[in-house]
Structure 1
Amino acid sequence: MSPNVGGADRIVRIVAGVALIALAATGTVGVWGYIGIVPLATGLLRICPAYSIFGVNTCGMKK
């Protein structure tokens, strides 16, 4: 799979993922906050399976 998550999208995913995990770890939100693992992983790996399904590419690289 080629990268399909780029620049600003990647930063937003990483920040949102870390924030959700931190909120869940401190008990501010319930365990559902650990869903932050998904945006964190997609931001770090630069691959989003949903983007692949819908043909979205925000990284600007040609396939």
Structure 2
Amino acid sequence: MKKNMGSADRIIRIIIAAIVGILYFTGIISGTLGLILLILAGIFVLTSLISFCPLYAPFGIRTCDLKEKI
């Protein structure tokens, strides 16, 4: 897997995941919507850690710089 996510993209995803996690565990969002958002937040964290988004690959989207690519 080649990297296709840049630093800014990764940071934004982690911030969104943290916000969703806080909202879920404080009870502001709950139920089915809360669970769906929590799962999505987990996916955001996972893709940020590996710097690869499977949805970017089929469309040829790449948010990383050429020097960030490994």
Q: If the length of structure 2 is used for normalisation, what is the TM-score? A: 0.76
Structure 1: runs of 5+ lacking an equivalent: none
Q: Report the count of equivalent residues.
A: 63
Moved over 3 A (4+): none
Match in the other structure for 1:25? 25
Larger radius of gyration: 2
AA in 1 matched with 2:11: I
Q: Give the distance between the partners of 1:40 and 1:17, measured in 2 at CA.
A: 7
Structure 2: runs of 5+ lacking an equivalent: none
Q: Give the distance between the partners of 1:39 and 1:5, measured in 2 at CA.
A: 12
Cα distance, 1:24 vs structure 2: 1.2
Please, what is the CA RMSD of the aligned residues? 1.7
Considering Cα pairs closer than 8 Å and 6+ residues apart, tell me whether 1 or 2 has the greater RCO.
Answer: 2
SS of match in other structure, 2:62? coil
Q: If the length of structure 1 is used for normalisation, what is the TM-score? A: 0.83
